[in-house]
Amino acid sequence: MSKKVFAWSPVRKLMKDNGAEMVAREAVDALVDYLEKVARGVTNKALEMTRHAGRKNFFSA
């Protein structure tokens, strides 16, 4: 199992701050997995666009 990018506690706090009264560990783990998958996809798309533009670095515009 690879090391997680998102910390567990802040994700749990985010869920509770948005109305969840009780948060199961499995729910936090599932959300962390989903967020990491989405972040990988966005990063890969940004790298693809950066390379297409002939750049070596990418940054927000």
**Interatomic CA distance for residues 3 and 13, integer angstroms:** 20
| Per-residue model confidence (pLDDT) at position 13 | 96
The whole-angstrom separation of Cα 12 and Cα 46 is 28
Is it the case that residue 60 has pLDDT exceeding 80?
Answer: no
- Taking the model in full, what pTM does it have? 0.77
- CA 3 to chain CA mean position, Å: 13
| Residue 59 pLDDT exceeds 90 | no
Contact call for residues 28 and 12 (beta carbons, < 8 A):
yes
pLDDT (tens digit per residue) in 17-48: 999 999 999 999 999 999 999 999 999 999 99
Structure confidence at residue 56 (pLDDT): 83
Distances (CA, A) of 4 to 8, 37, 40, 58: 9, 11, 12, 23
Q: What is the pLDDT of residue 61?
A: 65
